[in-house]
Amino acid sequence: MCVMLLDELMGWARAAAGMPAMTISLDVNHHRPVPVLTPLRVVARVARTDGREIFVDGARSPRRRIPPPPRSPRAASS
């Protein structure tokens, strides 16, 4: 369920930036489990573009902890 939320929100981030597109690849790293029925905070942002490719970073966490979206290693090199 969390991956579906991230994919959806990252799609909205692309669309809000004027770059609507479909997800081709989605890499997810789970740091710890989230208990069922826990309210979540999900954030996403367009990190960079490379031609037709759009790179989006996103994160989810329990609502009490709200980290910024992680910066992808590829975004740091641009």
pLDDT digits over 2-49, tens only? Answer: 788 889 988 999 999 999 888 888 888 888 888 888 888 888 889 999
75 pLDDT more than 80: no
Structure-derived torsion over alpha carbons of residues 65, 68, 73, 75, reported in degrees to the nearest 10: 160
**Average pLDDT for 58-78:** 63
Does 66 score more than 80 pLDDT? no
> Residue 58, SS3?
strand
